[in-house]
């Protein structure tokens, strides 16, 4: 099983807020709509988004998200960082665009055996 730490290392992600880096990653959900993540995100998913505001942390906590990855070198707002630190939610930043990052992450999860048809 992949961990948040392994994903960060293999993909060269900048860890802005270090939550539980040993948390298991079992899938991925990609959306910039908080309501969509609330409806379809799953426990232990990584969440790839462009959203940088504090509500991202609240959704991640409610849904049991392993970590949030911001693409295109977007950085979380200062209040988002404070909330993520308080809630121990990992936030990482990638210089890649969402498409490139998703493809690399898919291959990692596939090679690990974590990806199955019909899962996020």
Domain harbouring 46, CATH code: 3.40.1390.20
Model pLDDT for residues 18-47, shown as the tens digit of each residue? 999 999 999 999 999 999 999 999 999 999
Alpha carbon distance 33, 6 (integer Å) = 27
Q: Is there a domain that residue 44 lies in? A: yes
pLDDT of residue 1: 82
Q: How, if at all, do strands 67-70 and 27-30 pair?
A: unpaired
pLDDT of residue 111: 83
Beta bridge partners of 91: 17, 68
Q: Is 61's pLDDT higher than 70?
A: yes
pLDDT of residue 113: 65
Domain count, the chain: 1
Q: Is there a domain that residue 118 lies in? A: no
CB 17 within 8 A of CB 35: no
Q: Is 116's pLDDT higher than 60?
A: no
Q: Is there a domain that residue 120 lies in? A: no
């Amino acid at each position: 099983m992949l961990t948040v730490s392994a994903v960060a290392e293999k993909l060269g992600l900048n860890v802005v807020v270090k939550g539980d880096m040993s948390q298991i990653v079992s899938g991925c959900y990609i959306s910039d709509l908080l309501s969509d993540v609330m409806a379809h995100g799953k426990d232990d998913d990584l969440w790839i988004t462009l959203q940088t505001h504090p509500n991202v942390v609240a959704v991640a906590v409610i849904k049991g998200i392993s970590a949030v990855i911001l693409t295109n070198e977007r950085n979380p707002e200062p209040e988002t960082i404070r909330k993520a630190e308080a809630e121990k939610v990992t936030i990482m930043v990638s210089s890649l665009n969402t498409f490139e990052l998703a493809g690399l992450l898919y291959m990692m999860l596939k090679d690990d055996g974590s990806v199955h048809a019909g899962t996020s």
